[in-house]
């Protein structure tokens, strides 16, 4: 596995751990529809949450969350719609971004709730 893939996987594992510690119920990880992927689908209380995880080894070129593109948001929104149809969704939902910086000395996690809306 390429180093950037390993870094991304580690970031997603940290994000799942972070959400679980906050009381979120993880429903799916790496859920795919067509060419879109949603890193984490979780539920908190009665809110369905679709999470994009962005992981970097540093923030030299900007914070990880700034790399969530408009195209990625549109792909997530489309995939989320399909997921909601599949589970007969009838509760509130939102899109979150979890920004992870993995360093040898310490990891940094920033959870941005309701990060975007399309």
Domains recognised in the chain with CATH numbers: 3-116 (3.40.1350.10)
- Confidence band, pLDDT 50/70/90 cuts, at residue 1: low
d(CA 93, CA 114): 9
> What pLDDT digit, counting tens, does each position of 17-53 carry?
999 999 999 999 999 999 999 999 999 998 999 999 9
Question: What's the pLDDT score for residue 4?
Answer: 61
CA angle 81, 25, 44 (to 5 degrees): 70
pTM of this prediction? Answer: 0.91
Strands 93-102 and 47-56: parallel
d(CA 32, CA 103): 29
> What pLDDT digit, counting tens, does each position of 60-82 carry?
788 889 899 999 999 999 999 99
Asked whether the beta carbons of 23 and 44 are under 8 A apart, the reply is yes
Question: What's the pLDDT score for residue 118?
Answer: 65
């Amino acid at each position: 596995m390429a180093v950037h893939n390993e870094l991304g996987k580690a970031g997603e594992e940290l994000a799942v751990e972070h959400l679980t510690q906050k009381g979120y119920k993880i429903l799916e990880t790496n859920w795919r529809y067509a060419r879109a992927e949603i890193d984490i689908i979780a539920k908190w209380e009665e809110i369905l949450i679709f999470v994009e995880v962005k992981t970097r080894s540093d923030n030299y070129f900007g914070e990880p969350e700034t790399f969530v593109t408009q195209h990625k948001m549109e792909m997530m929104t489309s995939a989320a719609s399909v997921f909601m149809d599949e589970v007969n969704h009838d509760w509130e939902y939102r899109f979150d971004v979890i920004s992870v910086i993995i360093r040898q000395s310490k990891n940094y996690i920033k959870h941005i709730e309701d990060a975007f809306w399309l």
